[in-house]
Amino acid sequence: MKKISLTLLLLWTGYLQACDACKLQQPKITRNLTHGTGPDSNWDWIIVGIVTAITLATLVYSFKFLIKPGEKNKTHIKNNILNF
């Protein structure tokens, strides 16, 4: 199961590259990552920064509460996930 998941993840990340036309329209920092024209103004970069910070904070807290939720019950869902 882990080999299949890893293979699917690698295949999925391979499709996340932008096409040649979109690579030319993107700024250097986002080139080869996304499709479209890219950010038009500095406000777009601020929005991207805020969304990135929220996403990273969510990821950190997800791992924090998954590993040490403060729940001592043996049937807690954390044990099902970590023992998988």
Percent of the chain with pLDDT over 90: 20
Res 24: pLDDT: 74
- pLDDT tens-digit profile of 24-65? 777 777 777 777 777 778 898 899 899 999 999 999 999 888
Confidence at 14, pLDDT banded by 50, 70, 90: low
pTM for the structure as a whole: 0.53
How many angstroms separate the Cα of 77 from the Cα of each of 14, 60, 83?
A: 32, 18, 10
DSSP 35-80: -SS---SHHHHHHHHHHHHHHHHHHHHHHHHHH--S---TT-HHHH
Query: What is d(CA 35, CA 24) in angstroms, rounded to the nearest whole number?
Result: 10
Angle among Cα 28, 32, 34 to the nearest 5 degrees reads 100
Lowest mean pLDDT, pick from 2-11, 60-69, 74-83: 2-11
